[in-house]
Amino acid sequence: IEIEAIAFPAREPGKGRIRFNDTAGSMAKDSVFNAASVLRKITGKDLADYDVHVNVIGGGLIDGPSAGSAVAIAILSAVTARPIRQNIAVTGEISIQGKVKSVGGIMEKIYGARQAGVKTVIIPRENAMDSPPDLRGIQVATVEHIEELFPYVFEDEGSFSVSAG
């Protein structure tokens, strides 16, 4: 599943709106609110100051927390204008503390990503034992916190600066 996000400054600060595809289930939509907390903690930016649209390309159905870390990265990219590498895949529930938590179907997700031409899949560290042992043609990395994803997903090497105020 491919996820994209775009963000614009809200017309009125503090009154931004968030839109997510209707095909996203309630748990997937909750990940947007978790991402908002993580975004504020990492960058100091309040998602309420932006109009954000999160889109699942092709209208794919996502119901469950697996896309949480991908949604958070997409929103973070949109709000901070940092481009994302296109040859990676990310899975994992995102907590309000920024922890990347375990999800189901890891083996299927890795094989699906490889079939789609993805070079690197990042999974929750809690799922490390679920990764197939002898993979060829794809790298699997594990993370525990969203900030560990940054070197894998963002094209630049810069860090996020927290704004005062």
Show the beta-strand stretches assigned E in 36-132: 50-56, 88-90, 93-94, 100-101, 120-124
The whole-angstrom separation of Cα 15 and Cα 75 is: 17
Q: Are 69 and 32 in contact (CB under 8 A)?
A: no
Token digits for 98? Answer: 């920024």
> Is 37 designated active site?
no
* Nearest CA-CA partner of 29 in 48, 53, 10: 53
Token digits for 64? Answer: 């469950």
Q: Are 125 and 101 in contact (CB under 8 A)?
A: no
> Is 102 designated active site?
no
Catalytic residue (choose from 31, 45, 99, 109) = 109
Q: Is 18 helix (H, G, I), strand (E, B) or coil?
A: strand
Catalytic residue (choose from 31, 45, 66, 99) = 66
Active-site positions read 66, 109
